[in-house]
């Protein structure tokens, strides 16, 4: 056997011990990791099952804890219980209470407040001062009930997009908007033509004292004369037109 061949053979032999410990360790690590991974999956699945069971149990608890209770007793039970409140909101079972009935902590909790204003927008009046200024809460409240515009700050009463949302169904909700909208004759006329359900009551005092605008409003409903300024309510021509003889 040549020296070169011997060196190669020795080299080949010498490499094996270097590979063997590494592969051995690698296999040992793999052997330890895989059970841990599978164990983790099993643990996660177990937790998911436990969570589902807890949720089912929560619904049973919700039903049992409120069953046979008066409205006042139910309010005492839920007024500071966020989990129960959100569960009731999800099942649309909040009709027996308003945000006013809840604790200060719950009225300062955005998730709870959103649940309530999504049921009835005017609940925003009972939210914490901070959340009454929260854009998400304000738009959710006014989107649910345009009357909620009455209870938001002047910052939002001046927001054109919010005013449009508030008057989407009922033009009369304009009476809760900033003066600049109620005093804009062109804006009010356009709104009334689109909605056909507003009254002169929503307009500014200046428009209520503007004869052409009063006449326009009477063309929509003659009873609008009662919302005009005192001098036009006494006007004989308008009174005859309204048949107030």
The whole-angstrom separation of Cα 88 and Cα 93 is 5
pLDDT tens by residue, the chain, 245 residues: 443 443 433 333 333 334 444 444 444 444 444 333 333 333 333 333 233 334 434 444 455 677 777 878 888 888 999 998 998 888 777 777 899 999 999 999 999 999 999 999 999 999 999 999 999 999 999 999 999 999 999 999 999 999 999 999 999 999 999 999 999 999 999 999 888 788 999 999 999 999 999 999 999 899 999 999 999 999 999 988 877 54
Question: Mean pLDDT across the chain, nearest whole number?
Answer: 78
CB 32 within 8 A of CB 40: no
- pTM above 0.75? no
pLDDT at 62: 54
């Amino acid at each position: 056997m040549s020296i070169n061949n011997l060196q190669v053979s020795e080299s080949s032999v010498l490499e094996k011990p270097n590979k063997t410990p590494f592969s051995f360790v690698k296999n040992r690590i793999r052997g330890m990791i895989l059970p841990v991974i599978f164990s983790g999956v099993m643990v996660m699945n177990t937790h998911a099952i436990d969570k589902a069971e807890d949720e089912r149990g929560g619904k049973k608890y919700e039903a049992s804890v409120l069953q046979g209770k008066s409205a006042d007793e139910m309010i005492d039970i839920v007024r500071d219980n966020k989990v129960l409140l959100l569960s009731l909101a999800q099942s649309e079972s909040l009709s027996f209470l308003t945000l006013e009935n809840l604790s200060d902590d719950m009225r300062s909790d955005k998730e709870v407040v959103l649940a309530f204003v999504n049921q009835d927008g005017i609940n925003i009046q009972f939210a914490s001062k901070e959340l009454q200024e929260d854009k998400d809460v304000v738009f959710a409240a006014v989107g649910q009930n345009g009357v909620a515009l009455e209870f938001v700050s002047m910052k939002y009463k001046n927001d054109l997009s919010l005013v449009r949302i508030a008057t989407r169904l009922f033009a009369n909700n304009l009476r809760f908007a900033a003066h600049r909208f109620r005093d804009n004759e062109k804006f009010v006329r356009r709104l009334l033509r689109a909605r056909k359900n507003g009254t002169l009551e929503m307009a500014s005092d200046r428009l209520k004292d503007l004869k052409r605008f009063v006449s326009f409003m009477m063309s929509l409903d003659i009873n609008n004369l009662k919302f005009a300024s005192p001098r036009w309510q006494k006007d004989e021509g308008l009174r005859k037109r309204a048949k107030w003889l």
